Amino acid sequence: MFLTIDTVLVGFAFILLVAGVVGSLVPQVPGALLSLAGVYSYWYATGRPGLGLLVTLTLVGVLTWVVDFAGGAIAARAGGASTTTAVLAGVVALVLFFVTGPLGVILGVALTVFVAEFYRQRDARKGLQATLVTTAGMLASSFVQALLTGSILLAMVGVALL
């Protein structure tokens, strides 16, 4: 039996789809983009899913990317942090990802939000509140991303089996 390029692409598509789910749980890894790359690799190799499902999965992927991109900033703002603090925390997260990995990102963002908000408001309680809400929001964002990329994976398993 010979492997065709289409067979290789289908296998690669499912590797990307699984990597998308895993990547959605790791800060700064583009789980949504990996999932969409898997969907489009499968579609290129097989011509499936149909246009309606392809558009729907694309929209779910874009929504997942928005959650990834904006989740921490939205959580910081919901916790009372300023826009400046939210942007600063995002920059710190990006830098720390390459230096410390996921745990360092969470701790670094928490410390950044606390220090920036304490400095801004001169109130440890408000700084702590913003920190706790931001940290919870980052973790919740990862959970939502995992659910969304997992739904893309399950949909594609359904496409492959039907």
Specify the pTM: 0.77
Q: What is the model's pLDDT at position 55?
A: 97
3-state secondary structure of 64: helix
What is the spatial distance between Cα 128 and Cα 134, in angstroms, rounded to a whole number? 10
φ and ψ of 81, to 5 deg: -75, 150
Name, of 37-41, 101-105, 113-117, the range with top average pLDDT. Answer: 37-41
pLDDT digits (tens, 9 = 90+) for 17-58: 999 999 998 866 889 999 999 999 999 999 999 999 999 999
Compute the average pLDDT of residues 86-113: 83
pLDDT digits (tens, 9 = 90+) for 58-74: 999 999 988 877 777 77
